[in-house]
Amino acid sequence: MLWSGFAILLSGDIETNPGPTVEELLESILAKQTTIEKRLGDIEEKLALISDHSAKLVSLEGTVRNLENVIQRQQDRLTAMEDRARRNNLIVFGITESADETREVIEQKVLSCIF
């Protein structure tokens, strides 16, 4: 079989296909290397941006935690103030109250109805 392959080649009817030359292969490899280096540079830029955003995110998380603490303290203070404001309030049913009445007038109505 080997001799028949050589015989066909020697007859001149078939051309050999040696493939790309060393120079062509080298050019192809260098082109791909350039492409890879460019993509690597793009990845490094994106990684730097992500790192920067990550640092900002950590800072913002701290700010959010501080604001949540402030809100919680303010809610606690508001609850305490509302509780203190309700301590002296009484609800008396059956006595009508108008918007222009003063506290003294309302007290007199309550006292006259109860006693």
pLDDT for 79-99, tens place per residue?
A: 999 988 888 777 778 888 888
Q: Which range marks the domain in which residue 24 is found?
A: 19-87
The answer as to whether 111 is a domain residue is no
Tokens of residue 15, six digits = 């051309």
pTM: 0.47
Within 8 A by CB and 6+ apart from 14, the residues are 8
The answer as to whether 113 is a domain residue is no
Over the stretch 33-42, which tens digit does the pLDDT of each residue have? 999 999 999 9
In angstroms and rounded to an integer, the radius of gyration of the C-alpha atoms of the chain is 45
Domain count, the chain: 1
The answer as to whether 83 is a domain residue is yes
The answer as to whether 9 is a domain residue is no
**What spatial distance separates the first Cα and last Cα of the chain, rounded to whole Å?**
131
The answer as to whether 97 is a domain residue is no
Rounded CA separation 90/84 (Å): 13
The answer as to whether 94 is a domain residue is no
The answer as to whether 38 is a domain residue is yes
